[in-house]
Structure 1
Amino acid sequence: MQASASSAAPASTFNSRQRLSLTLLALASELIFVTVVILPIAPFVMLQAAIWGAGFAAVFGVTAFTFLWWLVQPSPGTVGRHAVRREEAPALFEMVDGLCTNAAAPRIHRIVLDNELNAAAYQTGGFLSLLGSRRTLILGVPLLRMLNLDEVKAVIAHELGHFSRNHGRLGHWIYRVRAKWDHYLHMQGNDSFVDGGLKAIASWFVPYFVSRSSSWSRQCEFEADTVAARASSARHLTDALARLEFISFLLARKLPTQLSSLRMQSAQAPGNFWSITAELAETNRSAMPQALAEGANRPRRAQDTHPALRERATALGLLVEPPPIESSPCAGDILLGKEWARVLTACNEDWQKNTQVSWRFDHLRMRWLVTGGVHALFSQQTAAQTELATAIVQEQLQGDDASLALLSAAATRHPEMAMAHFYLGLALLERGDDAGIQELRQSIRLDKRIALGAQNVICGYLASHGDQKAAREAVIRRRYTHERLTPLYEQLWEALLCRSLRAIAPGAVPLLAEVLAGEPLTDGCWAVQLDLPDATGLSHTVNILVMRIDHEQAHKADLGEDDLRARYQNYLQAVIPPDQLAMVHTVYTSEPLNPRLLKQLQAVPGSEIIAPARPLNLDIIRIDSI
């Protein structure tokens, strides 16, 4: 039963004193960042002053500072975004204009479509985003596809409520502060003294700031909901939130199984992803109560910027109920008219383009696993490992309750097998089950060599699912593992040039060859392995993939070296056991391949995965021979 939107107060309040405290905290963090930006250019300014005088040095310093300051500012991503003109979508602009009036919100300067299942509003302009303003409303094309007109109207009213309640300026500033410090919190190594110092500051600052700012953000959501209830409908807003909870449940729990089937059939990613998702919602309506129940029971985390669905509904005086079954056209069809088909097609094509490389690799890997490649993940073939291999293949193909039961049975029957706990942990976390963390940690207790891979998975999961304290503890554990492996990394290059190498497991070669042969970036690839000890003396098998990359193709694809290294490391990790390490060395065709390394690689039979198409090391001077 619906009650007055103002009759229920939000679960928490954020008073003026707390808002001032948060503002001062953000300002202090910005001052620290200003200092960090100034430090690198200070010696150059002093040098300019000595050569050209104080006046020129002042101009140079201000210019350099302004550029560096602009460079380090995070901004909302632009991938898949395009602004909508009023003449392209008159119905959309008419709705937004009307809602601005009803919500007592200032006018919107532009409306932007992106590829997220979400909507957002942000305000930019001026120093620290506090002076001047330019208001932007972002609507996700998937949101317009999955919700009806009334639900989208309520969502837009909610976003305008942020402007109505003056959340925009402080809210966007808080976002920028969090984004900058979060970058240093998750930095894997200390590239410089400054980066190391910032990382140390971030380790204690970010959890505290996130906790304080998230509390304010949740309060803002309650206030924007109240505005949406007045400008549109509390019931429609709650229905929209419930439907999005349901879609998120399907994306996490049901869609992977369907995509696995499609992935096994074709190396081409589908070009109608959001139509597949919509059909999935139609055929899984019976799962709606389960999705809403899981959402209601999900514990709140300190870093959550949005209140839980049940909290928001209660504040509006409503109960969470399954939204009505939809038979009318989606909101996008109504609001964008003849432009809708083009916009939806472009969104699906963006998804296909962004997914194609990983989709093709997953397709080839699934075929490789089914045809016996799974045995390359084991050093020997025992009955227990054969049982686990069968479960791994079924999990890759089906990803359902039956495959999870097989993995669970393998871990139960063979509690001493670290890999059984590892793969069970992966499967549980992919289903959003926190029990997977304990399985992964059990695999580490049984075999320390598996620690880095397991901890990477745990950190990634807790970053999006866990509370801030658990995520921070996981990062610290991974840092200890990196420290234990530091001696290994330090001697790796010398060992690669001087020690005897061997080819990687033969079973892994066919998949790597097939994957890399289909990528125009590849102009030579070698794979070798060797054993090295860590700080405790524990020996690790290290697999090294040496990639020669066509620099022209990389430039056309707009892929940096870090992006490529991450891609190839993913390829290598997928074909080796989790208790082995994967390292990637990249070199472009525009530069020489170290002659000593080349000699080492050529001395290992079976190490060449892809033969170079272009000649190696022509017209280079060997410094060691001069």
Structure 2
Amino acid sequence: MESRQGRRARMERLERQYEAAPGAYRVRLALWAGLGYAVLASGLVVAAGLCITLIVLATSRPLEDWRIAFPIILLGVLAITLLRALWFRSSPPEGYPLGPGEAPALREEVERIRREVGAERLHGIVIDAGLNAAAAHVPDGFGLRQRHYLVIGLPLLQLLDRRELSSVIAHEFGHFHGGHGRFGGWIYRVRVSWRRLLEGLSAQGTTSQLFFWFFRWYAPRFEERSMVLVRRQEYAADAMAARVAGAAPAASALARVHLASDWLERRFWPELLRPAHVQSHPPAQVHLQLARALADWRERQDRVPARVREEQPGPDDTHPGLAQRFAALGVDLDITLARPGPAAAPAMLGAALLDRLEQRFSRQWLEAARPGWEARHRAAQEAERRLQVLADAARRTPDEWLEYAALLEEHRPATDPVPVYREGVRQRPSHAAGHGRLGILLLRQGQHAEGLEHLERAMRLMPSLAPSLLGELDDQLRAMSENDSLLAAVRKLHQAFGQQVEAPPPGEEDFQPHALEDEPLQAIRRVLAGHPRVVAAWLVRQKAPGLSVLPHYLLLLEWGGSVASEQAALPRLSGQLTLPGTFSVLTTTERTPSLTRLRARAGEPFYRR
């Protein structure tokens, strides 16, 4: 298996090739796309031709051997599968489509920016529940016509001020603009076609295996080469945002969305789920809570932390890193974010529509979250019983000491778990996550030297913990007064471990059957049913590295929508799910050997739409 560093080096080489000769690179990319279409068309002609020939032969003379029906059926299925890869079903993006007369201020601003950019007319504006915006190209049939939609997340309107929002809208119109939009749209459709074709062929029999093996070799290579163009389109869209709204608002919008997305995933949604320990039903007004939390966060977040300044895009990231995007805009990344103006939502949407959207999205979240919340509540009750057993135990093993510490931290906020963690890592000094949790808690208590010592040890024992631990460190620094010695020590850790971006790929033995009862599975199915783009889902249990109180699950989704809709919806979907343990949500969009092993280990999907 090729390393992530190897793939990154190859992406950097492709970037240099594009820089040296953009036109030639686009021609080569078009030829790569043409190779796939040539194989697809050849297979379609051969399959359909043979199928028709066999039908003619079977109907032109008395049927002597009924077994001729089998190759006719197999060839027909193969032809339909290949044809389906070229066909696009037209459906508007998910969310709330603005009706005539709704949100006139937002419509006026969108139309002003559209004219200034010179983009094509929109077929609609859609408000969804994500902290994101997207230019949605919806092709009809074989993609000869496209419908254009602008998707804007309600949380985005509540996070950004008017100038920042204008820069985001201009950025998205940059994706609709001119020849860049047409060629880029075609490349996007080709990427989707090959993903869909692989999924269809993998479910077929031996007749389609030749095409399956070709496209399994071809599709990742085409995606890798097209990734360069996808990232370049982001730079061009950023430049459009700076031209319309100014470089400073464009840069601050990028930084706020990046930081707020991270904060929502690591802070807001976990804290929202915490009451499930004692409360059997989920909160009813989630999007009102979200609006208030975003308002408070945007007032407190005044700088770009060190960990973001050092982040580099992975080889599979469709967007450049924040540092690269700031450099392209000519803005210093080491900036203090200007105090934002009033959030755009009230003025752009109006009070009445804003209230209706908050109520609508809260009801949708409540309906999808209720089954998972109830399962989480039952799991918390089990954890309480386990906590009592460990508290009453006369003796504990090293793993039980660490489990006890984690349960205390999670379920007894008034009790200091530090002494229990200390005893756990004393008995099990190689336990990386135990050192990590202890280090963070000591840092919060002001014991900086000892805390940093445990954090460094955790990252040396398990480098894959570095991203989350460095993120926790930056969060702690924001809450502290200036401390030059501590800041210098943290920078040293960033230099030593900042490039650690992923865990070693799991082996097949790390994936086990999920062993869940029907009730929690039904709860997950109900959540997935609320997301129409989820086509199928697989679930396995993984041997969790480090400290694990409950089992860790991997949920693999086949996503039937665009990459943009996937990126916008997955954080919300993850927040609605609850399993009796920790979990990660992955999609089949990224094709890696570890995901292939995971899917093979999972067997048949437990959910299909």
TM-score (norm 1): 0.60
Aligned residue in 2 for 1:85: 99
**Residue deviations 1:92-129, cap 9 Å, x none?**
22212211111121211222222221111133435653
Match of residue 212, structure 1, among 220, 225, 236 = 225
Aligned residue in 2 for 1:311: 324
Query: Measured at CA, do residues 545 and 156 of structure 1 come closer, stay the same or move farther in structure 2, by a change above 3 Å?
Result: closer
Write out aligned runs for 1:70-469 (5 A). 70=84, 80-125=94-139, 129=143, 131-179=144-192, 181=194, 192-193=205-206, 201=214, 204-284=217-297, 288=301, 292-320=305-333, 321-326=335-340, 328-331=342-345, 333-335=347-349, 338-372=352-386, 382-394=396-408, 396-397=410-411, 410-411=424-425, 413-415=427-429
Deviation, structure 1 residue 305 = 1.7
Query: Measured at CA, do residues 214 and 287 of structure 1 come closer, stay the same or move farther in structure 2, by a change above 3 Å?
Result: farther
Deviation, structure 1 residue 77 = 8.8
Query: Measured at CA, do residues 156 and 51 of structure 1 come closer, stay the same or move farther in structure 2, by a change above 3 Å?
Result: same
Give SS of 1:121's match: strand
Q: Structure 2 counterpart of 1:112, which letter?
A: V
Q: Structure 1 counterpart of 2:507, which letter?
A: R
Q: Structure 2 counterpart of 1:288, which letter?
A: Q
Query: Measured at CA, do residues 149 and 391 of structure 1 come closer, stay the same or move farther in structure 2, by a change above 3 Å?
Result: same
Query: Measured at CA, do residues 156 and 50 of structure 1 come closer, stay the same or move farther in structure 2, by a change above 3 Å?
Result: same
Give yes or no for the alignment of 1:16 onto 2:29: no
Deviation, structure 1 residue 158 = 0.9
Query: Measured at CA, do residues 80 and 265 of structure 1 come closer, stay the same or move farther in structure 2, by a change above 3 Å?
Result: farther
Query: Measured at CA, do residues 117 and 409 of structure 1 come closer, stay the same or move farther in structure 2, by a change above 3 Å?
Result: farther
**Residue deviations 1:432-455, cap 9 Å, x none?**
x99989867999xxxxxxxxxxxx
Q: 2:413 and 2:552 mapped to 1: Cα distance?
A: 26
Query: Measured at CA, do residues 564 and 26 of structure 1 come closer, stay the same or move farther in structure 2, by a change above 3 Å?
Result: closer
Q: 1:224 and 1:158 mapped to 2: Cα distance?
A: 5
Deviation, structure 1 residue 420 = 6.5
Question: Contact (CA 8 Å) 1:421, 1:442: kept in 2 or not?
Answer: no
Deviation, structure 1 residue 258 = 2.1
Q: 2:271 and 2:249 mapped to 1: Cα distance?
A: 30
Give yes or no for the alignment of 1:478 onto 2:507: yes
Q: Structure 2 counterpart of 1:51, which letter?
A: A
Which 5+ residue runs of structure 1 have no aligned equivalent? 1-9, 428-432, 444-465, 486-541, 584-626
Question: Contact (CA 8 Å) 2:310, 2:323: kept in 1 or not?
Answer: no
Query: Measured at CA, do residues 555 and 406 of structure 1 come closer, stay the same or move farther in structure 2, by a change above 3 Å?
Result: closer
Query: Measured at CA, do residues 353 and 119 of structure 1 come closer, stay the same or move farther in structure 2, by a change above 3 Å?
Result: same
Q: 1:554 and 1:138 mapped to 2: Cα distance?
A: 26
Deviation, structure 1 residue 409 = 6.8
Write out aligned runs for 1:53-72 (5 A). 65=79, 69-70=83-84
Query: Measured at CA, do residues 81 and 62 of structure 1 come closer, stay the same or move farther in structure 2, by a change above 3 Å?
Result: farther
Deviation, structure 1 residue 295 = 1.8
Deviation, structure 1 residue 544 = 4.9
Deviation, structure 1 residue 269 = 2.2
Q: CA RMSD in A?
A: 5.6
Which 5+ residue runs of structure 2 have no aligned equivalent? 1-14, 62-70, 442-454, 466-497, 555-609
Q: Structure 2 counterpart of 1:262, which letter?
A: P
Q: 1:254 and 1:325 mapped to 2: Cα distance?
A: 22
Query: Measured at CA, do residues 114 and 215 of structure 1 come closer, stay the same or move farther in structure 2, by a change above 3 Å?
Result: same
Give SS of 1:382's match: coil
Q: Structure 2 counterpart of 1:478, which letter?
A: G
Deviation, structure 1 residue 156 = 0.6
Give SS of 1:106's match: coil
Aligned residue in 2 for 1:457: none
Question: Contact (CA 8 Å) 2:50, 2:75: kept in 1 or not?
Answer: no
Q: 1:387 and 1:175 mapped to 2: Cα distance?
A: 51
Percent identical pairs in the alignment equals: 22
Q: 1:91 and 1:183 mapped to 2: Cα distance?
A: 39
Q: 1:442 and 1:329 mapped to 2: Cα distance?
A: 37
Query: Measured at CA, do residues 66 and 53 of structure 1 come closer, stay the same or move farther in structure 2, by a change above 3 Å?
Result: farther
Write out aligned runs for 1:425-574 (5 A). 477-479=506-508, 544=515, 547=518
Q: Which moved more, 1:88-97 or 1:39-48?
A: 39-48
**Residue deviations 1:490-522, cap 9 Å, x none?**
xxxxxxxxxxxxxxxxxxxxxxxxxxxxxxxxx
Aligned residue in 2 for 1:51: 58
Q: Structure 2 counterpart of 1:23, which letter?
A: A
Q: 2:345 and 2:551 mapped to 1: Cα distance?
A: 50
Deviation, structure 1 residue 387 = 0.7
Deviation, structure 1 residue 36 = 6.9
Aligned residue in 2 for 1:6: none
Give SS of 2:136's match: strand
Q: 2:174 and 2:79 mapped to 1: Cα distance?
A: 36
Q: 2:421 and 2:187 mapped to 1: Cα distance?
A: 43
Q: 1:100 and 1:394 mapped to 2: Cα distance?
A: 55
Question: Contact (CA 8 Å) 1:333, 1:340: kept in 2 or not?
Answer: no
Q: 1:398 and 1:333 mapped to 2: Cα distance?
A: 43
Q: 1:200 and 1:422 mapped to 2: Cα distance?
A: 43
Q: 1:317 and 1:94 mapped to 2: Cα distance?
A: 29
Deviation, structure 1 residue 192 = 4.6
Deviation, structure 1 residue 43 = 7.2
Q: 1:68 and 1:185 mapped to 2: Cα distance?
A: 10
Aligned residue in 2 for 1:26: 33
Deviation, structure 1 residue 408 = 8.3
Q: 1:79 and 1:171 mapped to 2: Cα distance?
A: 19
Question: Contact (CA 8 Å) 2:345, 2:354: kept in 1 or not?
Answer: no
Question: Contact (CA 8 Å) 1:123, 1:136: kept in 2 or not?
Answer: yes
Q: 1:557 and 1:76 mapped to 2: Cα distance?
A: 22
**Residue deviations 1:17-36, cap 9 Å, x none?**
11122222233334455667
Question: Contact (CA 8 Å) 2:405, 2:420: kept in 1 or not?
Answer: yes
